[in-house]
Amino acid sequence: MASVDSAMNREQRGRPSQIWVVASFILVAGLALTPAAIDAYSLTVVRDALIFGLLALSLDYLWGKSGLLSFGHAAFFGIGAYGVAIIGPKVAGANAALAGLLVGEATAIAVAGLVGYFLIFGGVRGPYFTIVTLAITLVAQHIAIGWSRVTGGDAGLIGAPPPGLELFGISYSMTDPVEQYFLVLAIAALCLGSLWLACRGHYGRVLAAIQDNEMRARSLGYNTSLHLLIVFVLSAAMAALAGSLYAVVSGYVAPDLVGLLLSTEIIVWVAVGGRGTLVGPMIGAFLIIRLQQEVSTINPRLWPMIIGIFFVALVFLFPDGVLPILRRGARRLIGLIGRERRT
């Protein structure tokens, strides 16, 4: 029982425990072998799920690690995607996607920095922060639909360039779906790994402290607003990266990439996977997207309704997410088995 207790303690410190590290390795190894096992179409499904997993990870960095919940992450995802789809075709050569990515990133960082600065340094926290970020998504969606000359309106844009690089006269365009899949996997794993490394030490504890009691952290000398702003901007940049990736590998963008539905879905992915666990939300995205496909084969209109009801249930019934409930269940199960053995 002592070992279970200490494991729980480690969990409760807000660090991913060894279980999560092992789970991440198995997951990445499994994903690396996936292309050999499934057909081309299924591979694109897994690839997209990975991209949305990266998007979920970006929100978990903000919501899970710093406590700020953003409804604006679909907007940042969209900015990254539209950046590639708008700028990319205008640039000749293999660097087209990269140019679009840079423009998308710069825009996302500027928007997050500007809005974030006024919100966070203005002392806006909790639900108020969430509501204002909701406005970012609404504005972005209106621009995506309304400014049709540039964004293609409801139809969206096709012809986003594939990933590529041109350097010192050597040019390479990545058009092979399997290669693209590995690119996505590598970026997602890199983001997950670096966030995990960054958050497991002192930095993660500082963020946890700010989340617990911001006033106290400030009185200890931490510039908490600056910390939160940096997290918000980095998180938005990561969401934009996911968006750019989506555009370069799928070749098209549409307004539903910036919509409110996507923003809600990201939150559900994180909540289901376990807020603050980093890898959990990526798994959450996988599972929910799979479920979405099953539901959509019955009736495509069913999904927004289900996700909406689920979201309301989430807020009222299990605000800490689904994972703690499962964990409590698992603990009780372990306890029961332990008791069985002793008797």
Q: Tell me the C-alpha distance between 70 and 260, whole Å.
A: 12
Q: Which stretch binds other proteins (CB under 8 A): 7-15, 30-38, 103-111, 317-325?
A: 7-15
Q: How far is the CB of 275 from other proteins (least distance, A)?
A: 12
Tokens representing 310 are: 């689920």
Candidates 4-12, 145-153, 173-181, 299-307; binding stretch for other proteins (CB under 8 A): 4-12
State the binding string over 212-251 for other proteins (x if CB under 8 A, else -): xx-xxxxxxxxxx---------------------------
Distance in Å, CB of 208 to other proteins, minimum:
6
Q: Which of 178, 171, 292, 185 is nearest to 245 (CA)?
A: 185
Question: In the bound complex, what is the minimum distance in angstroms from residue 19's beta carbon to other proteins?
Answer: 18
- Minimum distance of other proteins from residue 67's CB (angstroms): 11
Site residues for other proteins, 181-210, by CB under 8 A, read: 202, 205-206, 208-209
Is 90 a residue that touches other proteins (CB under 8 A)?
A: no
Residue 241: how many CA atoms within 13 Å on its side-chain side? Answer: 21
Rounded alpha-carbon distances, angstroms, from residue 40 to 5, 197, 242, 288: 46, 33, 21, 21
Beta carbon nearer to other proteins, 176 or 212: 212
Size of site (CB under 8 A) for other proteins: 23
Residue closer to other proteins, measured from CB, 18 or 296: 18
Question: Looking at residue 222, what DSSP letter applies?
Answer: -
Greatest Cα pair distance in the chain: 74
**How near is the Cβ of 312 to other proteins at its closest, in Å?**
26
Closest separation in Å from C-beta 128 to other proteins: 21
Continuous segment of H or E residues that includes residue 251: none
Query: For the stretch 126-151, what's the b/e string if a residue is b when 16 or more beta carbons lie within 10 angstroms of its beta carbon?
Result: eeebbebbbebbbebbebbbeeeeeb
Q: At what angle do helices 73-87 and 126-146 cross, to 10 degrees?
A: 30
- Binding stretches for other proteins (CB under 8 A): 6, 9, 12-14, 202, 205-206, 208-209, 211-213, 215-224
